[in-house]
Amino acid sequence: MCPRNRSRLSHRKRSLLLVAFSFLLVLASFLSSHPAVILPSAIASAPLAGGLSSWNPKVNCAPIVVTVEQILGSQTNSLGGATENGSIFNPGITSSYGPDNTKRWLTPSSTTPPGWVPPGPPCTITNAQGQVVSAFVQINGVERSYPGDFNWNQAFVPINGGANYTNGLQSDTAFNVLTPGYSLCTSTNTTNCMHMIHVQIDRDWKGAGYCGPSTFCDNSTLLAETVPYMTLIDVQGFVFWNPNDLDDNAHGFSGWELHPLTAWRTSSFYVSANPNPLPVMPGQSSTSTISVSASSQFSGSVSFTATVSSGPSSSGPIPAAAVNPSSMFLQTSGVGSTTLTVTTASSDAGNYTVTVTGANGNMTRNVSVTVYVVDFSIQANPRSLSVPIGSSSQSTIMLASINGFTGDVSLTSQVSPASISLSEPTTTLSPSVVSLASGGSGSAVLTVSASLLTTPGTYTVTVTGSSGGVSHTTTVTVTVTVAGLI
């Protein structure tokens, strides 16, 4: 049974905090770990942050940033709370073990208890409209109500193996998070019901050591470091529909929860990157704008550093990364930006991750930028031609996108050695510019002609493809013959 929170202190009229720091998640990065994900239109205009990660190391999901209102949707029931069908996250995380087990399901890790049932709560779900959406979310800049501890137990639920906790009795720590400017939901003020959501730090997560002391979801630290209805916090968790408390005003007259709540932190400043992921060609540089925004309870200097790590498919030297300017001062609710420049070596290939970290004293926020080195290949088929004088032959020049390259490739050709006769073989390329789509291919036809004045012998035709300062070549060996002679 969920708790009834205490009535809110005096109602304060605050402006709605806009989470303006984030930008639309670039799908290429997100899809690398969440195949076939579609951001539905209901969330397409939401402040979704790219390059985010879970603060809790036990959760291997990338969150999307949403507001309380985007989880609840716009449909209300007869009591004034949010309906299940009105949410883009309907039905939330589910399993064949039922809701009481599902909401406590532990994520996979090396410390899952004996008998834990894989695979754990999913990073994505298929909603009622058939769209794949993130089940793991982040809400920034919300207030909290007074928490309570309920549902004490000493053993895991069956989906987590059913064994006893090794750290004694544990409870669910339950409270609500609210959009600033709103208070708790009551039967006489149902407007607030659509601006708060119930959250729980789960007892099984405490029993497994995923939450509790020295974790990112420590309920004791939450009490010590934040003030109800005053301190702004950010939270992460899995979206869950609880059908058991629809008539409870402390639950917003709605079943929507973040359960489990996997992490929280004090709101301060936020960093995001655009574009992200960032394409760059070998031996070239590309830039991404790092946007920074402060909460209404933060002001101060933020300094930036960038570190680069190699991906499993990468090769060549580590690209260089620099942030300029390397520091800035943010006013309360202020915004700013700096520029990340990534420079690759000509031999670089594959993907890299650049982590840009903003720091204010011991407080840090970061964003991960996926850098993928894009390139193209070129080859000739056939690679040798026999051309009788007075005739011509052809070779197909084939081009292909590498690692998402898109763009035009200009083709040129050169014959060597230059003939000392009146005429050397001549070449044409059709077309002379080939457009490549990401993952696509294209071709051109190389025609080599020998006039009656061309000196018989062997020549090399070098075809060069160029795009964005990067060039690659392929060669065709041409033998000019006299009719009837080999």
The answer to whether residues 345 and 380 belong to one domain is: no
The verdict on whether omega for the bond into residue 456 sits within 30 degrees of 0, i.e. cis, is no
Is residue 14 in some structural domain?
A: no
| Residue 49 belongs to a domain | yes
Those residues with Cβ within 8 angstroms of residue 316's Cβ, 6 or more apart along the chain or in another chain = 282, 344, 345, 347, 348, 349, 350
d(CA 204, CA 210): 8
Answer yes or no: is 3 within a domain.
no
Q: Give yes or no: residues 73 and 178 share one domain.
A: yes
Are 76 and 117 contained in the same domain? yes
Degrees, nearest 5: CA angle 329-264-82: 110
Same domain as 182, residue 43: yes
pLDDT in tens, the chain (486 residues): 444 443 333 333 333 333 333 333 333 333 333 333 333 333 333 334 468 899 999 999 999 999 999 999 999 999 999 999 999 999 999 999 999 999 999 999 999 999 999 999 999 999 999 999 999 999 999 999 999 999 999 999 999 999 999 999 999 999 999 999 999 999 999 999 999 999 999 999 999 999 999 999 999 999 999 999 999 999 999 999 999 989 999 999 999 999 999 999 999 999 999 999 999 999 999 999 999 999 999 999 999 999 999 998 899 999 999 999 999 999 999 999 999 999 999 999 999 999 999 999 999 999 999 999 999 999 999 999 999 999 999 999 999 999 999 999 999 999 998 755 568 899 999 999 999 999 999 999 999 999 999 999 999 999 999 999 999 999 999 999 997 655
User: How buried is residue 152: exposed, middle or buried, by Cβ count under 10 Å (0-12/13-18/19+)?
Assistant: exposed
Whether residue 352 sits in one domain with residue 398: no
Distance CA 82, CA 74 (A): 7
263 and 290 part of one domain? no
Choose the final residue of a domain: 215, 236, 267. Answer: 267
Residues with Cβ within 8 Å of 407's Cβ and at least 6 positions away in sequence, in order, are: 435, 436, 467, 468
Q: Which of 373, 393, 417 is the last residue of a domain?
A: 373
Distance CA 106, CA 327 (A): 40
Same domain, 307 and 184: no
How many structural domains does the chain have?
3
- For residue 7, is it within any domain? no
CATH number at residue 195: 2.40.50.140
Determine how β-strand 136-144 pairs with β-strand 64-66.
parallel
- Is 84 a member of any domain? yes
User: What is the C-alpha separation between 228 and 196, in angstroms, rounded?
Assistant: 14
The whole domain housing 336 covers 270-373
Residue 67 CB neighbours (<10 A): 22
Q: Give CA–CA dist 457/82, Å, rounded.
A: 83
CB atoms within 10 A of CB 61: 24
111 inside domain: yes
Contact 66, 89 (CB under 8 A): no
Write down which residue in 327, 344, 373 finishes a domain: 373
Note whether 32 and 155 are same-domain residues: yes
123 lies in the same domain as 262: yes
Is position 231 within any domain? Answer: yes
384 in the same domain as 360? no
Return d(Cα 465, Cα 472) in angstroms, integer: 5
CATH number, position 339: 2.60.40.2310
Q: Is 363 exposed, middle or buried (0-12, 13-18, 19+ CB in 10 A)?
A: middle
- In-domain check, residue 109: yes
Question: Does one domain contain both 74 and 206?
Answer: yes
Tally Cβ neighbours within 10 Å of residue 473: 14
Q: Is the same domain home to 179 and 290?
A: no
